[in-house]
Amino acid sequence: MQQNLPSELAQLKAMTTVVADTGDIDTIARLKPTEATTNPSLILKAAASGRYDRLLKAAKTNNEAPELRVDRVLVGFGCAILEHIAGRVSTEVDARLSFDWRATVQKARRIIALYEAQGIDRSRVLIKIAATWQGCQAARVLEAEGIHCNMTLIFCTAQAEASAQAQATLISPFVGRIYDWFKAAEGASWNEAAMAGANDPGVQSVRAIYKRLKSAGSRTQIMGASFRNKGEILALAGCDLLTISPKLIAELDASVGPVSQALAAPPITQEKICISEPDFYYALNCSTVATDKLSSGIRSFVADTEKLQALLY
């Protein structure tokens, strides 16, 4: 009977918006996803391939400091990606600004202005911001201006709550990086089979976030991100969106088997979200994985932003 089933990817798309997690324009043109997400690491990888030198060259024509040229490269990739998708592209704010809400707001406005100068409506762009407390305050300001935000590097429910409280359009809770952390922490005692699928700690984190926000009636969309295997993806079928690497999209497309809906919005049973700054920091402090992975994620994005910037002197 399975031979008559559509691919796992087709079944997943019937219940979840599948987003391509890549900065490679040619790959997006081939996959034709609804939406796409980028980050400094993905853009650096694409830029270093040599296939998009025209975008780097275009950024250098402006008499600006290299850190400002980075914005033009990000927007250049974003505009090229939008030629191949019907939905939105996510473009990340400089992670060096993760603890400065005012500078984050200014950078986001600049990025949107660059898009609009190319004729791209702001409704087609999601500004990615690390879900620090300051990042969430920046999102509150930006959303009020009609600049939609994708809060990223989310590893605990407190980050999701602060993002939703700020009325962020979308959040990206990470699955694979949580999986990596727990696997490394367990070492030789890690049981891969026992911790797969619904038992994966990254999957469980997203499920808890999904339940909390939906039960509170939040309109913030939830997009699972950072996957290590297709089992993690299928365990979150039904999530609002899932951003998936081209490799795993291809694997899902080549696989046939029944895909069951794992997530469905529960009834609104909880009070509206209300989290204070002290409560946010205390919850983050209590989660070792969130503290570690948020910090290392910001450092990683900063390092790749600086590498990208070095290409623009």
Catalytic site positions: 128
- Cβ atoms 242, 249 nearer than 8 A: no
Torsion (CA) 157, 159, 163, 164 in degrees, nearest 10: 10
Query: Rounded distance, CA 195 to CA 214, Å?
Result: 25
Detail the DSSP E strand segments found in the chain.
17-21, 35-37, 89-92, 125-130, 149-154, 170-173, 221-224, 241-244
Query: Rounded distance, CA 238 to CA 262, Å?
Result: 6
- Cβ atoms 290, 284 nearer than 8 A: yes
Amino acid at 159: Q
Query: Rounded distance, CA 52 to CA 50, Å?
Result: 6
101: left (phi over 0), alpha (psi -120 to 50) or beta: alpha
Residues near 10 by beta carbon (within 8 Å), at least 6 away in sequence:
253
Residue 35 DSSP symbol: E
Q: Could you identify the residue written with the tokens 């983050």?
A: 284
Q: What are phi and psi of 90, to 5 degrees?
A: -100, 130
Q: What are phi and psi of 12, to 5 degrees?
A: -65, -40
Query: Rounded distance, CA 173 to CA 220, Å?
Result: 12
- Cβ atoms 60, 312 nearer than 8 A: yes
